[in-house]
Amino acid sequence: MTHHGGFEPVFCTIIPPHVLDHVARHEDSAIAERVARTLEHDSAQRTRRRVNALRGLAAAAPTAPSGKPNRTIYDAGHGTNLPGRKVHSEDDGPSKDATVNRAHAGLGATFDLFLNVYGRDSIDGSGLPLDATVHYDRDYDNAFWDGQQMVFGDGDGELFLDFTIPVDVIGHELAHGVTQYTANLEYYGQSGALNESVSDVFGALIKQYALGQTADQADWLIGAGLLGPAIDRGEALRSMKDPGTAYDDDVLGKDPQPGHMDDYVRTSRDNGGVHINSGIPNRAFYFLATALGGNAWEKAGQVWYDVLTGGELATDADFVAFAGLTVAAAKARYGEGEVEKAVLEAWQKVGVPTA
């Protein structure tokens, strides 16, 4: 059973609004102004997505699955009209523009993981063409999936660098597309935090798969390499291993992610804390992957993928419901034993009951 994925696109950005809100209040007016523009842009985009969702967007015409990616990169030329000018097709050789090449490679790395590991042909499972726009707007400090394509800002060079640099950022955003076409998790509260966490999980797995890293070798950071020279104390946007430790900086503020239900953040901001409380299921996945050892995309990733695509996950699922389904999925695929036990223990460690 698939849900009505594709009809309720959510505007999902990699830099959470609470981070930009904090920076926009910075005493350095140049820094604050740059980020305020990004915030204004994102707020307008969110409103536009809601209007489109209410109207009901037409589903993309199915394409014949080929088992090969079909990537097209566009250049917005620092404007905001999408998709922009077509600059690179699937069969073209490398571009002179490193950003184009990174976008192309990141789309490919995402496609490869889903096809080779889970047998899923592109984002929708039916060979959906993968489109991305680079050089979007000026000093734009974000990247997003808009329900149909990827869009990358160049960053402002001080706070954030080019958003095509971390492959897990590309994977994270495209994974929102996979969720859209499968469980279609509502982007609010715990179901929204699960939506964000699933994107972090697959973003991390895409990076690990591309680098050939085991669970023990991986850094479990999301967005490492993205923070610019103005950030003194920060290594990434989020840490799945140790939520709340990715940054503690004068400009960015302190990473607010909890790693346990005892510290769950109740807030109306950030769609009910979707980028904040995602730290809890993120850490559960990290515990599972490292307990099982080896490649995280194999057993741990398979369990998460089975839940996302199994048709049992309600669009408004909370952490307890998701955790229970991961236990059932582990048992269904691997029987009673090591994997099921590790799943139970992982959720126990972050204070989420599985019954």
The pTM assigned to this predicted structure is 0.94
The pLDDT assigned to 9 comes to: 56
- Residues taking part in catalysis: 173, 275
The answer to whether 200 and 240 are in contact (CB under 8 A) is yes
- SS3 string, 277-299, reads CCHHHHHHHHHHHHHHCCCCCCH
pLDDT value of residue 3: 37
Nearest alpha carbon to residue 4 among 55, 65, 63, 57 = 57
Spatial neighbors of 40 by CB under 8 A, at least 6 apart, are none
Q: State yes or no: pLDDT of 5 exceeds 70.
A: no
Report whether pLDDT(37) > 60: yes
Lowest mean pLDDT among 29-43, 72-86, 115-129: 29-43
d(CA 183, CA 286): 22
Nearest to 299 by CA among 335, 260, 352: 335
Cβ 231 vs Cβ 161: under 8 Å: no
Nearest to 64 by CA among 147, 129, 131: 129
Are domains 12-181 and 193-349 of this chain identical in fold? no
Instruction: Indicate if the pLDDT at residue 279 is higher than 50.
Output: yes
The C-alpha torsion from 133 through 139 and 144 to 150, rounded to 10°, is 10
Burial class (CB in 10 A: 0-12, 13-18, 19+), 32: middle
Mean pLDDT computed over 18-30? 91
* Mean pLDDT taken over the chain: 92
What value does the mean pLDDT take over residues 208-230?
98
CATH superfamily, region 193-349: Neutral Protease Domain 2 (1.10.390.10)
Query: Got the DSSP string for 119-153?
Result: ---STTSS---EEEEES-SSS---EEE-SS-EEE-
DSSP letters for 243-266:
TT-SBEETTTEE----SSGGGPPP
**Across-strand partners of 131?**
72
Distances (CA, A) of 8 to 146, 235, 300, 306: 11, 33, 28, 22
Nearest one of 265, 268, 286 to 197, comparing CA atoms: 286
pLDDT surpassing 80 at residue 24: yes
CA distance 230 to 159: 5
What does DSSP say about strands 130-134 and 71-75: parallel, antiparallel, or unpaired? parallel
The pLDDT score that the predictor gives to residue 84 is 97
Q: pLDDT by residue (tens digit) across 122-134? A: 999 999 999 999 9
Sequence spans of domains, the chain? 12-181, 193-349
State which CATH number among 3.40.605.10, 3.30.70.980, 3.40.50.1860, 3.10.170.10 fits the domain covering 12-181: 3.10.170.10
Q: Tell me: the pLDDT tens digits for 248-278? A: 999 999 999 999 999 999 999 999 999 999 9
